Amino acid sequence: MKINNIGYLMKEGIRGIFLHGFMSFAAVCVTVACLLIVGGFSCLMYNLSIMVEDLNKTNQVMVYVDENYTDAEARSVGTLINKVDNVFQATFVSREEALEDFVADHGGDSAFVGVDANPLRHRFVVLLEDNSLIEQTVAQLQKVEGVVKISAAYELAQGFTTLQDVLHIASIAVIGVLLLVSLLIISNTVKLAMYDRRDEIAIMKMVGATNGFIRLPYVVEGFTLGMIGAGLAFGVLWLLYDALLGRLASVDTLQLLNFVPFQELLLPMISIFCAAGLFVGIVGSWTSIRKFMDV
């Protein structure tokens, strides 16, 4: 195909958007609606996954040091603990601090005033990088010289891990179904647009136009409509997301729902929306016009 023909066909594709304005508008609206649903659900599931991951990081492992160790010797154990694989942070808690925490937990009861802290042990509050490996990490911590006891909430860590796995599986499944339904809806909308122009396609076939010559304008048109829909959906989603964050900030004063800023989702969302717009526009128009090529 000649270069000047390609330029002409691309112009025809752009012209077709305005020539069949209503169907073009319908295709863009359907694309925006479907991508908003998919994008909105994706943002929600990503934030839920982050929240669960943050909760998982609060699961602490208590590592108790030999009561015969001095303060300096007990603190030195922290260096060995931090060298253990999967340990994110080890915070030292002295006997005196442990006693203060204990009294505070019991409402500052005067009955504990004057109690000697010596019977208590120095300890480390250990946070792990991956709580799913808590059992293996505890086994390594038990081998550290000076460690005499470890307290770990295995069931809680396993519960968080299971919840994360369920969220990941549910996210993939639901987003996959939403994408499939969206593609079917958008494809049917494109087919309606092609059906509206079946006579035009038939005339072009009868005057000797090749399949490629007929298809290219519609592919260009579909690509343009798909990218316009994706761009509009992305912009609307960004505005709605920021509005939701502003609303949550005014209502959730305790910050129980920590949604990430949209800038953190920028690149993944751009990739998803561009890929969806490209696929819907080109593949949708290419496959939809195929049934009208046999004249």
Task: Kindly state the tokens that stand for 154.
Answer: 């295995």
Range with the largest mean pLDDT of 16-30, 66-80, 145-159, 191-205: 66-80
Percent of the chain predicted with pLDDT > 70: 74
Task: Kindly state the tokens that stand for 25.
Answer: 């508008």
pTM comes to 0.65
Taking only the tens place, the pLDDT of each residue in 53-87 is 777 666 788 888 888 888 888 889 888 998 898 88
If we measure between CA atoms, which residue out of 228, 225, 206 comes closest to residue 285? 225
Taking only the tens place, the pLDDT of each residue in 113-123 is 444 445 577 88
Q: Tell me if 81 sits within 8 A of 144, measured CB to CB.
A: yes
Confidence at residue 117, expressed as pLDDT on a 0 to 100 scale: 47
Using the predicted structure, report yes or no on whether residue 130 has a pLDDT greater than 70: yes
User: What region does 29 belong to: left with phi over 0, alpha with psi -120 to 50, or beta?
Assistant: alpha
